[in-house]
Every structure is written in structure tokens, then in C-alpha cells.
Amino acid sequence: MEVVGPNTRGDPIVDGHEDLVYDSKLGFCYGESKRQAEAAVLRANGRKLHNGGSLVTCSLRPTYIFGEGSQFLQLHLDQALQNGGVFHRISKKEALANPVYVGNVAWAHVLAARATRDPEAATRIAGNFYYICDDTPHMSYSDLNHVLGRELGLGVEARLPLPFPLLYFLASIMEMISFLLRPIFRFVPPMTRHLLILLNTTFTFSYKKAQRDMGYKPRYTWEEARRLTSTWMAAVLPQRKEELRKK
């Protein structure tokens, strides 16, 4: 979804769709690199192949992916363990996202691949992009961490550590320091303006177009996705505790 935003102003999207006009002035290299990659993929649609056929391409834009093996979840889990069993509040409660379970993202890729091999379906998806999400309830990133971890006894902070404008100012200062130190030292800011806006902007989408064009329907319910992810978190918890203790 970072192909489209959020933009630098943090303009929200609620139940966005593929025909939505949005001021996608990203201003950040991460999203811009994704945009350029997607454009290259879609431009390749229709390219003639050596066997006389034509290449069929489409692009999938999953929202925030959670599930077993998530590096982001593991990072947040480590931080919670170091914070007395409480997840840091990294996003305002009202900044809603619609996370998507990794199994449903994988299923969308399978359906897209099948569609490229079906002449009728290929005509529908060729050169198009699709938002991929599922029926996970809309919630902030911090509250998702809490929902997935509360059966393990993990809590979440009630509010951001500082008011958002002050956090934005501090992120700007850290980016400036990183730029000034670049010739002699690689300093990676723990928080950037882009990440701060991303985590604190309501940004939700619909999967209706993928459902219409390629028959996408989430294979895993929210209850199944939550259970599978929480079970994985419970399995890695003892190991993470031990590794953090040794540090």
C-alpha cells in the first residue's frame, strides 16, 4: 500500500479502492522505490515472449502483513519484553489500519497466478493493480500487537510517549543528524517522519476489485489468523526471553 501513501500530509483513506484519486506525493524513498518497481511490472504487461505469447502482469498491494514469522511482530515482542511485558504505543488508537494475515496474502498470489493462465481472467487482471486485505478488524498497529499478545499476558501503553507534533519534530532532527553524519558514520534513526506518518494515519482499503476480477476471498478468518499468530508468538516467547536475558 505504500505505493500510494500515506502522503507527507498524512491525508487519510477509509475503505479505499483502486479508482480512488489520492495526492500521492510520497516524499520518501521507500514508497517511491515500490512505486517505480510496480510501474515497471505493469509496463511489462503485453510484452511479446519468445514463444509467440504475451506476458500477463498485475500488481498486488497488500496492507500491513502480520502472521507467523513476522519480523515486525518479533521486534515489537522483544520491545514489550524489555518494557515489562507492555507493547510500546507507536500509533494513536484512532489511526486505523486494516492489517492482512500472511496466509491470505499468499492465497491472493496463488489466485493471481492462476488468473494469468486463464484467457478470460487474464483479460480482466492484465495491467491492473489490486489492494489485498481481509476481514481483520480495523485497528491501530499498536492495538493489533496487543490483540495478538494479550493472551500471553502482554499489555499496551495507553498513549503515545509524546504529542505527535513533538515526535514529528524529533524525527526531523534525527533525520538531519543522520544526514550530517553520513560521511563518517552510519546512524539509522529509530523513527523517521515517514514511519511516524505511516503509523499514525488512518489508511484502510477494500478487496472488492480482487474479489471481482480474480475470485479472491480470504482463506483464513480473523479468528483463525489471530489464533495461528498468537500460537506462534507463544512458541517463540521463551526463546526471546532467554536471548534478551543473555544480552
132 class by beta-carbon count within 10 Å (0-12 exposed, 13-18 middle, 19+ buried): buried
**Portion of the chain with pLDDT greater than 90, in percent:** 78
Mean pLDDT calculated for residue range 72-85 = 93
- At residue 141, the pLDDT reads 96
Mean pLDDT calculated for residue range 15-32 = 83
- At residue 246, the pLDDT reads 78
Write out the three cell numbers for 102.
500472511
- Residues 177 and 126: their CA atoms lie apart, in Å, by 45
| Domains of the chain in sequence order | 13-160+200-246 (3.40.50.720)
Higher pLDDT among residues 8 and 200, named by residue: 200
Mean pLDDT calculated for residue range 142-156 = 95
Write out the three cell numbers for 83.
518494557
- Over 90: is that where the pLDDT of 143 sits? yes
Provide the pLDDT confidence category of residue 244 given band limits of 50, 70 and 90.
confident
Phi-psi region of 93 (alpha: psi -120 to 50; beta: other; left: phi over 0): alpha
Mean pLDDT calculated for residue range 94-123 = 96
Q: What is the pTM of this model?
A: 0.91
- At residue 26, the pLDDT reads 60
Which single residue is written with the C-alpha cell 500500500? 1
Provide the pLDDT confidence category of residue 1 given band limits of 50, 70 and 90.
confident
Higher pLDDT among residues 117 and 30, named by residue: 117
- Over 70: is that where the pLDDT of 27 sits? no
Catalytic residue among 25, 34, 48, 93: 34
209 is catalytic: no
Write out the three cell numbers for 114.
492462476
Higher pLDDT among residues 91 and 23, named by residue: 91
**Portion of the chain with pLDDT greater than 70, in percent:** 99
Mean pLDDT, the chain, rounded, equals 93
What amino acid occupies position 43?
R
- At residue 24, the pLDDT reads 75
- At residue 2, the pLDDT reads 86
